């Protein structure tokens, strides 16, 4: 069993079962998304620093978030806090279009290069305040926040599809949060809590004060 197969088995053991998600993880070379000095750890299930006070999340958490997002082939997805671009790469293998917002220009440019190496063509990269979302492609079937917030930003909730649109976000304090799924159905909103986690904070209007 090679390193990639071992990683997939570990992710399965942690509870992720969707075969489409597992296949997307297996087909994504994480080495493209980590700094060169971290390459030997690319297939270890742990978060790694990528510079600019940001990290690339551990693959099992990326897999869980992707599974919770319930992506379909025709889905239009927004990711807030694109960072390395790894989470977006996974989403792009499952969705019709993925819009990614990242406030750090250098990280956004790195992510674009990695996507190009993978041959991904259904990603839209936006540099800016992710808490405001991105109206041109709304409404979104799923919004994935790869950064923590004290509460779900209003703009992101407003840009969710009213036909089962889902926001998956780490909600809580600066140091620790709980992964939370908000599902919008018409004027109704349901909330489901998942695992405890620790993400870098959301910057911008909808972030921490």
**pLDDT for the residue 131:** 94
Task: Return the bridge partners of 97, or none.
Answer: 76
Half-sphere exposure of 197 (CA within 13 A, CB side): 27
CA distances from 168 to 11, 37, 51, 113, 146 (A): 19, 31, 24, 26, 9
Alpha carbon of residue 124 to chain centroid: 14
Other Cβ atoms within 10 Å of 194 Cβ, number: 15
User: Hey, where are the domains in the chain?
Assistant: 60-197
**pLDDT for the residue 208:** 74
**pLDDT for the residue 175:** 86
CA distance 118 to 121: 9
CA distance 142 to 107: 23
Half-sphere exposure of 163 (CA within 13 A, CB side): 5
Q: Print the SS3 string covering 51-64.
A: ECCEEECCHHHHHH
Class of domain 60-197: alpha beta
Is 57 labeled as catalytic in the residue annotation?
yes
**pLDDT for the residue 209:** 67
CA distance 53 to 71: 29
Among 57, 60, 75, 89, the one annotated catalytic: 57
Per-residue pLDDT of the chain (209 residues; tens, 9 = 90+): 788 889 999 999 999 999 999 999 999 999 999 999 989 999 999 999 999 989 999 999 999 999 999 999 999 999 999 999 999 999 999 999 999 999 999 999 999 999 999 999 999 999 999 999 999 999 999 999 999 999 999 999 999 999 999 999 999 998 899 999 999 999 999 999 998 988 889 988 878 76
């Amino acid at each position: 069993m090679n390193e990639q197969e071992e990683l997939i088995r570990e992710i399965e053991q942690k509870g992720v079962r969707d075969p489409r998600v597992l296949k997307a993880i297996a087909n994504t070379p994480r080495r493209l998304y980590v700094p060169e000095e971290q390459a030997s750890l690319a297939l270890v299930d742990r978060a790694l620093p990528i510079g600019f006070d940001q990290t690339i999340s551990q693959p099992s958490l990326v897999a869980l978030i992707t599974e919770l997002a319930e992506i379909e082939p025709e889905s239009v997805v927004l990711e807030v806090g694109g960072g390395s671009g790894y989470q977006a790469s996974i989403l792009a293998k499952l969705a019709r279009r993925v819009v990614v917002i990242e406030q750090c220009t250098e990280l956004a440019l790195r992510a674009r290069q990695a996507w190009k190496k993978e041959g991904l063509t259904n990603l839209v990269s936006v540099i800016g305040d992710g808490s405001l979302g991105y109206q041109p492609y709304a409404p979104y079937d799923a919004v994935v926040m790869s950064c923590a917030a004290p509460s779900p930003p209003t703009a992101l909730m407003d840009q969710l599809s009213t036909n089962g649109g889902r926001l998956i976000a780490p909600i809580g304090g600066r140091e620790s949060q709980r992964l939370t799924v908000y599902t919008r159905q018409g004027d109704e909103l349901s909330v489901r809590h998942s695992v405890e986690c620790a993400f870098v904070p959301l910057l911008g209007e909808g972030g921490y004060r």
